[in-house]
Structure 1
């Protein structure tokens, strides 16, 4: 489409982009430039925003609004000193312009001087007509410094001015949740609902609060009101399904999850919950069907893979379970939960080298559970890797210094290696801590258990 670049009737953004393609320079009034620049800033097209600002400053050097947009761009580019210079100049001309304070506050926020940002935003609050936005900005600054009480107060002020600002409502709930103030959150939401009785978002939040308090019947009623307020509210159906599961009403939960599949694109969460419900009902064919749909919809959702692996494990179909564990580690090799299951399954199938590798990977990825150290130690023992057994158990004892099962194992391996001083030390400590666990030595190290010296130590401490 061709445009007359000097014709004010053309659509500003299209005119500007046409100008960029042809390298012609056209005239835009300051309002058009504001529209163009804001469009590019909001859509994240920063290169075009810079070009528009450059041309706008050339054509309208005295425009306050364009100068403010220039300052905003400088802040985005982390050119804070330049931005301060522009804003200070503007402040001399218009000392009561609230946007100047807001942009300065943005600089302090980005440089983590949040207290100074809050002070400036409070000044802006006295000067602006758009108080809701400024309260929201103040609330965000308090969130940055983890002052949830003050953040909550400011988000409430924002919502009081604009009761359609659901982002403020969500932030208020976030603060209540962090502070553990569930009943206070419910009281606040009830006051809000007195003025906005058909707010599906507020009803949804009431339901979540009651759910956290394990008051499931009240939670269910709240989600039903959310659905009455908006029968297409997918989130309310999902949450209602969760409550029905807690109440053991699995068929009703299934109905709600199925509704979400008709209202919007399928979600891995809905598929997963459907699988869990069918599993509870003993309908295995449908359970595994939906678990597989879960990993197809979202291959990175570990709960989907784990549900399938655990499903086949419970059926004692360990080879099938292992197949999915292997696939899971291929999809996400950094997930320790997959490697634990991979290791456990290989151990069951007597693939000891693979099992040891799985436990080692789980530990490398931060799984420091007691059983992981114990299982790896027993696998290393079966492989004859005695020195590795000692290293593994000593590492485990760094996390669990008084873990008697690890100490018995260490005693056993030291006796096996004929390192008698270490062996006696650990066995004496283990027997003093809990003599009943001597069964570990008897089962894992039977030759050690039968040694005269060991039997004498056991007898001496009875």
Structure 2
């Protein structure tokens, strides 16, 4: 095999050739470092370990190769062994900041974040290069995030930006901290100050617009996104956010224009297609609305909002057959989505397909949607189907999530009376009228045959007299 020495991957190619032939070739320590870095970057841990082993055999005094060894030990959660290697390296080079960075990494992986911070601060005191300082400030900021000390994190992420004003990761982290602390005013102040010195920073304008959007100052949000677009007229995110603002301002035609620009700048996104559909629906242009809803699910069949929008579109127009057709397609694509099953149940209920509606509500509950409405709707359908025992079991489960709920108690009272379980019926009905007499209509609606029963009438009327 012929190698070109001009090939920047030449050491890597030689190394992999060596592994295949079992020949032992010599590499200088920096070549080994590049090879190991390549394997770690690509998640090839076994090859990285092999390169470290061979590297240390050829360069046993290399500090950097030992530091790579520490990285592998941390990946394998061998923290004690990593500490031992670092202690030996510290004895050899007590002023090597990289050793402290790795020590901090080992501490962080063990959730010893304050100790990791203290160790990183030592590394910062040793550093004298702005680029390294910025990386270290970012590491300290992240450790403070792990401790939920957002104010301290902000301090260090700001230091990152003082070192490098294009460190947009730090800028995002600052805004994230302010958001978490619900300090939108402080975020806006900081971003405006940052923009005073960096007026063409599209990322900062974008973040500022999102802050104004959060506090519902849509005029200023719109202006901020305009400046983001002026700074970079290919910034897809700014057009998307501007579209959302224009929707809030009910300027649907302009919102559509902005969303359409994103389709021209980049591959179509399901979000933009969906929003265009909603805008056309608000404008009363139903054909275009449904056209874009369908494009949304063509683009991303797993986007539940797309299928839900189509189903609700037809449901609002009382076209339940078409609504059922599309929600069935959604359920076939993702049968574990409770939102799909809830809609499936609702549409079947409207079509009076009660068995399918009950199946939909049951599946919704199985998938963790424990809303009161879901329990009640399923219970009512079981009553309509004459499945009284199943309805009681369903409502008892509901009562675990919603104890002392009048709507549940009226239904349980009516069910037990219907099954001639008089004591249970009296117990639940008395509970129900005690909790809320205004829901007593449930008995006449769901159990019309019980309205003339003297005991039922007496419990309800006595309660009405007492409340008056």
Q: Compute the TM-score of the two structures, normalised by the length of structure 2.
A: 0.95
Summarize the alignment of residues 186-335 of structure 1 with structure 2, pairs less than 5 Å apart: 186-335=188-337
Return 5+ residue gaps in structure 2 as ranges: none
**Cα drift, residue 298 of structure 1:** 1.8
Partners of 1:71 and 1:86 within 8 A in 2: yes
Partners of 2:191 and 2:208 within 8 A in 1: yes
Q: Secondary structure of 1:232's partner?
A: coil
Which residue number in structure 2 is paired with residue 24 of structure 1? 23
Partners of 1:8 and 1:28 within 8 A in 2: no
Which residue number in structure 2 is paired with residue 442 of structure 1? 444
Note closer, same or farther for the CA distance 1:187–1:10 as it changes in structure 2 (3 Å cut).
closer
Note closer, same or farther for the CA distance 1:9–1:259 as it changes in structure 2 (3 Å cut).
closer
**Cα drift, residue 355 of structure 1:** 1.2
Indicate the RMSD between aligned Cα atoms, in angstroms: 1.8
Q: Deviations over 1:50-101 (max 9, x none)?
A: 2221221111111111111121122122222221121111100001111111
| Alpha-carbon separation, structure 1, partners of 2:407 and 2:286 | 38
Q: Compute the TM-score of the two structures, normalised by the length of structure 1.
A: 0.96
Return 5+ residue gaps in structure 1 as ranges: none
> Is structure 2 residue 135 aligned with structure 1 residue 136?
no
Note closer, same or farther for the CA distance 1:9–1:419 as it changes in structure 2 (3 Å cut).
closer
Partners of 1:3 and 1:10 within 8 A in 2: no
> Is structure 2 residue 122 aligned with structure 1 residue 123?
yes
Summarize the alignment of residues 41-60 of structure 1 with structure 2, pairs less than 5 Å apart: 41-60=40-59
Which residue number in structure 2 is paired with residue 427 of structure 1? 429
Which residue number in structure 2 is paired with residue 103 of structure 1? 102
Which residue number in structure 2 is paired with residue 364 of structure 1? 366
**Cα drift, residue 9 of structure 1:** 8.8
Note closer, same or farther for the CA distance 1:125–1:10 as it changes in structure 2 (3 Å cut).
closer
Partners of 1:125 and 1:134 within 8 A in 2: yes
Q: Deviations over 1:341-380 (max 9, x none)?
A: 1111111122222211111111122211121111011111
**Cα drift, residue 13 of structure 1:** 2.5
**Cα drift, residue 402 of structure 1:** 2.9
Summarize the alignment of residues 150-169 of structure 1 with structure 2, pairs less than 5 Å apart: 150-169=152-171
**Cα drift, residue 4 of structure 1:** 7.7
Higher alpha-carbon deviation: 90-99 or 33-42: 33-42
Partners of 1:271 and 1:293 within 8 A in 2: yes
Which residue number in structure 2 is paired with residue 80 of structure 1? 79
| Alpha-carbon separation, structure 2, partners of 1:437 and 1:353 | 27
| Alpha-carbon separation, structure 1, partners of 2:374 and 2:12 | 61
| Alpha-carbon separation, structure 2, partners of 1:345 and 1:192 | 52
| Alpha-carbon separation, structure 1, partners of 2:62 and 2:302 | 50
